[in-house]
Amino acid sequence: MDFSLNEEQMAIRQTCRDFAEQEIKPIAEHIDATGTFPYDLVRQMGELGLLGLPFPEEYGGAGADFLSYCLAIEEISRGDVSVGITMEAHTSLGATPFFLFGSQEQKEHYLRPLARGEQLWAFGLTEPEAGSDSGGTQTRAVLKDGSWHINGAKTFITNAGTDMTGGVTITAITGKTAAGRNAISNIIVPKGTPGYVIGNSYKKMGWKASDTRPLSFEDCQVPAENILGQPGDGFKQFLRILDAGRVAIAALSVGLAQACLDEALSYAQQRKQFGQSISKFQAIQFKLADMDMEIELARLMYYKAAWLHMQGKPYTREASMAKLFASETAKRAADQAVQIHGGYGFMDEYPVSRYWRSVKINEIGEGTSEVQRMLIAKQLGC
Ligand SMILES: Cc1cc2nc3c(=O)[nH]c(=O)nc-3n(C[C@H](O)[C@H](O)[C@H](O)COP(=O)(O)OP(=O)(O)OC[C@H]3O[C@@H](n4cnc5c(N)ncnc54)[C@H](O)[C@@H]3O)c2cc1C
């Protein structure tokens, strides 16, 4: 067993760590407080190749492996999770479906500008009435006269409405399976298509500098070729997309948890009470030690899931475990980081206050903690 990272993985991690330290952290409080989407940062990340890390160079990507991509997500999220989720949703949810299931023309046309970071792309699975029950999609696409006619709505869609967004891939019912169930397909809808309405950005508790919107489709028409794979492939496709996405979300959670530990440790070493640094009190040391231990465990869990994925081995169980444990670890870390800061932790000028608000969504997005436990139990044979 070899736990060491190779040179390329270490170089990508270092590049992202430096970028987060120098470019992201200095503006993180401002973009959160004002809910500003950080276009300059995202464009810089595109130029550095960070928006196409796991895709081959022939499609404009950086040709890095999946673990390198996750390491990058961890470091960017350590700088700021709004930026981390923008990168993750673009790569794992927006671009990956084109890479995995797109035709050669679709890869050339859609994946290339995404991998180069010239455009962002969104993936619309969740609907007002279909969240955890993602197979309960109600949006419909009917093929008529060479076009898909789409009607329905999506909710909470990341990256859907930025100036850089090229479009969204949505799940829609396109017919019936042989067993009489709804057949779901993934349909590509470019921004600006008539009938495709992008709603206003939500006001959120955290991830405030990321773009999240409701979408609606009213007789929205796209050409028949705007489908990924074959009609009815959509359900299988998004299960695969979500497996890999969960490993990246685990990395995002580890980055946020690490940021909590960084701030808590630094504060504990500076803050004096009873004539000494509070880091000298065993009660504070034990909190820091537990944070460090849990973060290390969560990190090893996402490394293992990423490694299994790269070996082409099954990793659904490990992806769910990594996502579940890392998001709950991050929540505990954020809570303890605020506790270690005392009253100052409740003040907005301390980053831990922002971390505490943003951490909750990690237990909800890309499958709630309950859904992860259901998936793990299913693997046990329940
Ligand atoms: C900021 C943000 C960004 C997002 N980005 C995207 C995106 O880019 N694309 C996208 O498609 N979606 C996105 N989502 C949606 C997200 O994936 C869903 O919110 C999530 O899957 C949960 O769905 P829901 O909100 O409808 O909750 P529900 O499914 O209604 O769940 C409500 C509660 O019931 C529980 N529950 C549901 N079913 C069961 C069950 N069988 N057993 C036990 N408990 C159950 C849930 O765990 C949860 O606690 C985003 C959400 C947010 C908030």
Ligand 1 atom index nearest CA of 158: 8
Q: Give the separation between CA 53 and CA 38, rounded to whole angstroms.
A: 20
- Bin 126: left if φ > 0, else alpha if -120 < ψ < 50, else beta: beta
The CA 223 to ligand 1 mean position distance, Å, reads 30
Give the DSSP H/E element, type plus range, for residue 34.
Answer: helix 25-34
Residue extents of the structural domains in the chain: 7-118, 122-232, 236-380
| Nearest residue to 75 via CA among 147, 22, 7, 153 | 22
- What tens digit of pLDDT does each residue of 338-379 get? 999 999 999 999 999 999 999 999 999 999 999 999 999 999
The per-residue pLDDT for 135 is 86
- Classified as helix, coil or strand, 131 is coil
pLDDT of residue 22: 98
Residue-wise pLDDT tens for the chain (382 aa)? 899 999 999 999 999 999 999 999 999 999 999 999 999 999 999 999 999 999 999 999 999 999 999 999 999 999 999 999 999 999 999 999 999 999 999 999 999 999 999 999 999 999 999 999 988 999 999 999 999 999 999 999 999 999 999 999 999 999 999 889 999 999 999 999 999 999 999 999 999 999 999 999 999 999 999 999 999 999 999 999 999 999 999 999 999 999 999 999 999 999 999 999 999 999 999 999 999 999 999 999 999 999 999 999 999 999 999 999 999 999 999 999 999 999 999 999 999 999 999 999 999 999 999 999 999 999 999 9
Q: Which CATH class is domain 122-232?
A: mainly beta
Cα of 365 to ligand 1 centre, how many Å?
6
Instruction: Name the residue with the closest Cα to ligand 1, atom 27.
Output: 131
Q: Is ligand 1 within 6 A of the CB of residue 276?
A: no
Q: Which CATH architecture has domain 7-118?
A: Orthogonal Bundle (1.10)
- Of the residues 7, 23, 366, 370, only one is catalytic, namely 366
Ligand 1 atom at minimum distance from 202 CA: 1
Q: Which atom of ligand 1 is nearest to the CA of 206?
A: 1
Decide: 253 and 298 in contact? Cβ < 8 Å. Answer: yes
| 47 annotated active-site | no
236-380 CATH choice from 3.40.50.150, 2.50.20.10, 1.20.140.10, 3.10.100.10: 1.20.140.10
| 156 Cα: distance to centroid of ligand 1 (angstroms) | 9
Mutate to test the pocket of ligand 1, among 156, 211, 378 (most ligand atoms within 8 A of CB): 156
In this structure, the strands spanning 165-176 and 120-124 are: parallel
- Tokens found for residue 83: 């930026």
